[in-house]
């Protein structure tokens, strides 16, 4: 079992923004190799949950344990977790003043301390993995949204993360670019990456996910394998949500 032991555990996690309760008693485990898709209506706390996992947002109650490290006020522990957890953003957040290749190189160079001579090779390897080696010298501003997001994937992969978190990676893209990004994600999943995705593409959930989690109003309402989740939802709110997004 140690092979597939838990890498992320959330126990009774609560979070407030002022008086607004963003997360309610979240209990949730990700095992190594799991592909999880989190869905739910807007305002349901999905991005908040993803972002508490590497403490871009601090939680106030409960325990979050990532790769054996409990997240709390000590920044040393938080940074340890951040080195093992890759986060992909809705708006890519590439560094506009650096070329694609340099974007990939900063983290191994300054955080991991990989010897400088090896870094370009590593970076190119991951650029090839997202099928993008020919644009290494360009600046992010010269690329399309889909291309930028693939570069962002590669940048995250350069850190050799144990888990990748996806915070709505396709929401800011033009429709024709969604598929290139989804294909890349499917590729990652096939390579065995542990993935926790907030994503609106239900086709991706059906094809890739081991489990689908439905959130509403900061709570996990339902958690199931994709077949049961889509064919036979247990909760009325899940049913409502699914009928709304699958209608068109």
Partner 1 sequence: MVAILFVLNIVLIGFLNFRFQAIIVWLQLLALFLTFFYGFDLDFSFIRKKVWFMVSQGVFTTLYVSAISIALAPMLAIVGAVAKLSSNGFAYAIASFYTSFFRGLPLLMQVYLIYLGLPQLGYVIDAVPAGILALPLCYGAYMTEIFRAGIQSIPKGQWEASRSMGFKFGLTMRRTILPQSLPLIIPPTGNQFIAMLKDSSLVSVIGVWELMFLARTLGNKTFQHMEMLITAAMIYWCLSMCLELIQSRIERHFRTKSH
Put the strands of the sheet holding 6-17 in their side by side order: 20-31, 6-17, 61-66, 69-70
Tokens at 183, concatenated: 């294909």
Residue 52, interface with partner 1 (CB under 8 A)?
no
Grouping H, G, I as helix, E, B as strand and the rest as coil, residue 59 is: coil
Spatial separation of the C-alpha atoms in residues 186 and 35, rounded to whole Å: 10
Question: For residue 156, which of 171, 169, 145 has the smallest C-alpha distance?
Answer: 169
Of the residues 44, 48, 54, 148, which one makes contact with partner 1 according to CB under 8 A: 54
**Nearest-approach distance from CB 161 to partner 1, in angstroms:** 9
**Nearest-approach distance from CB 101 to partner 1, in angstroms:** 15
**Nearest-approach distance from CB 183 to partner 1, in angstroms:** 23
**Binding map of partner 1 across residues 135-164, x = CB under 8 A, - = no contact:** ----x-xx------------xx--x-----
Grouping H, G, I as helix, E, B as strand and the rest as coil, residue 81 is: helix
The residue count of the chain comes to 248
Region of 19-27, 104-112, 118-126, 223-231 interacting with partner 1 (CB under 8 A) = 104-112
Q: Are 30 and 53 in contact (CB under 8 A)?
A: no
**Residue indicated by tokens 């340099």:** 102
Of the residues 60, 63, 72, 79, which one makes contact with partner 1 according to CB under 8 A: 79
Residue 28, interface with partner 1 (CB under 8 A)?
no
DSSP string for 1-27: -GGG-EEEEEEEEEEEETTEEEEEEEE
Of the residues 23, 87, 100, 178, which one makes contact with partner 1 according to CB under 8 A: 87
**Nearest-approach distance from CB 148 to partner 1, in angstroms:** 12
Residues in contact with partner 1 by CB under 8 A are 54, 56, 75, 79, 82-83, 85-87, 89, 91, 93-97, 106-107, 110-111, 139, 141-142, 155-156, 159
């Amino acid at each position: 079992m140690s092979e597939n032991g838990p890498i992320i555990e959330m126990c009774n996690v609560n979070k407030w923004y002022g008086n607004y309760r963003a997360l309610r008693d979240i209990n949730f485990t990700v095992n190594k190799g799991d592909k999880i898709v989190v869905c739910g209506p807007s305002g349901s706390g999905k991005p908040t949950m993803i972002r508490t996992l590497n403490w871009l947002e601090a939680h106030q109650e409960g325990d979050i344990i990532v790769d054996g490290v409990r997240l709390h006020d000590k920044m040393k522990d938080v940074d340890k977790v951040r080195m093992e957890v890759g986060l992909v953003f809705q708006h890519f957040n590439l560094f506009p003043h650096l070329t694609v290749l340099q974007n990939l190189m900063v983290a191994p160079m300054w955080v991991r301390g990989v010897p400088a001579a090896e870094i370009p090779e590593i970076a190119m390897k991951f650029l090839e993995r997202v099928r993008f080696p020919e644009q290494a010298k360009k600046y992010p501003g010269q690329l399309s949204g889909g291309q930028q997001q693939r570069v962002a994937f590669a940048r995250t992969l350069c850190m050799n993360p144990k888990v990748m978190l996806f915070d709505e990676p396709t929401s800011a893209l033009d429709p024709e670019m969604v598929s290139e990004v989804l294909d890349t994600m499917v590729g990652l999943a096939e390579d065995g990456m542990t993935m926790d995705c907030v994503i609106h593409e239900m086709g991706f959930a059906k094809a890739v996910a081991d489990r689908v989690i439905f959130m509403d109003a900061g709570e996990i309402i339902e958690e199931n394998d994709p077949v049961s989740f889509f064919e036979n939802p247990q909760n009325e709110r899940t049913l409502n949500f699914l009928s709304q997004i699958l209608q068109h």
